[in-house]
Amino acid sequence: MIDIHSHLLPGVDDGSPSFEVSVSVLQRFAEQGVTTLVCTPHLSASYAAEAPIQQHRELLAELQRRAPAGLVLKPGWEIMLDTPNIDLTARELALGGSRAVLVEFTRGGLPRGATAELRRLARSGLTPVLAHPERYFGCTLDAVREWRKIGVVIQTDASMLMGRGAPSELAREMLAAGVIDVLASDNHGDARSLASAREWLEAHGADEQVALLTHTNAACVLNDEDPIPVPPLRAGLLDRVKRFFRR
């Protein structure tokens, strides 16, 4: 598995507070089959020019030194689009040196001009990877479909598929419609993982979707390739998922 969204660079945001916590999570991830993980600390677009790139490089190098053998760590950021029209084309802001940038909006609701800003990023030569759209108040399936048409990669938090409440319901609707491109843990030094979603999908008969969501499309993003469309859930499988959450 490849995880392109995590907050395991220690002590830099609201994620892991220490190397000890991060290493513990990395050991668990390695045992579960994660081979590549991108560390994506929070960064506001308005402060992109002041990003502490060298400091984070040093922390990442030390974390890689302590990581389990075979687990590759890559640099990245989760960029809050708090101000429009900011230049985010510096490779140091991207995921693992690719052209892909992981971006987010506030939970309070999609700002006016959200689609225009995502389109601007795509036209600047970047691949916007939108983090957890299921969490944004006002987000709809139609909006997600429009974003994908303009070149946005949709990343859903794995834990949302198995939760309850409106965001989780939207996440499952997105899965059923085939508009999620990539799953990620969004781990903050806690128990969240890709493995739990993989097991949940396999248990519900979504084997065809598992590899694309947890490995293939993440590799495409890091290699500057277009993600492969994930098939919508078959009618019978969708009914099984709905029955599970009516218990």
Domain ranges of the chain: 2-244
**Cα 21 to Cα 9, 147, 193, distances in angstroms:** 10, 36, 14
pTM of the prediction?
0.96
CATH topology of domain 2-244: TIM Barrel (3.20.20)
Spatial separation of the C-alpha atoms in residues 101 and 88, rounded to whole Å: 8
Q: In sequence order, what are the residues at sequence separation of 6 or more whose Cβ sits closer than 8 angstroms to the Cβ of residue 1?
A: 32, 33, 34, 35, 194, 195, 198, 214, 215, 218
CB atoms near residue 225 (< 10 Å): 13
Tokens for 158? 């794995």
Could you read off the pLDDT of 214-239 as tens digits, one per residue? 999 999 999 999 999 999 987 666 66
31-54, pLDDT tens digit by residue? 999 999 999 999 999 999 999 999
Instruction: Give the length of the chain.
Output: 247
For 17, 99, 203, the CA distances from 188, given in Å and listed in that order, are: 9, 24, 26
Tell me whether residue 191 is exposed, middle or buried, using C-beta atoms within 10 angstroms of its C-beta: 0 to 12, 13 to 18, 19 or more.
exposed
Mean pLDDT by 10 residues, the chain (247 residues): 98 98 98 98 98 98 98 98 97 98 91 96 98 96 98 98 94 96 98 95 90 98 98 76 59
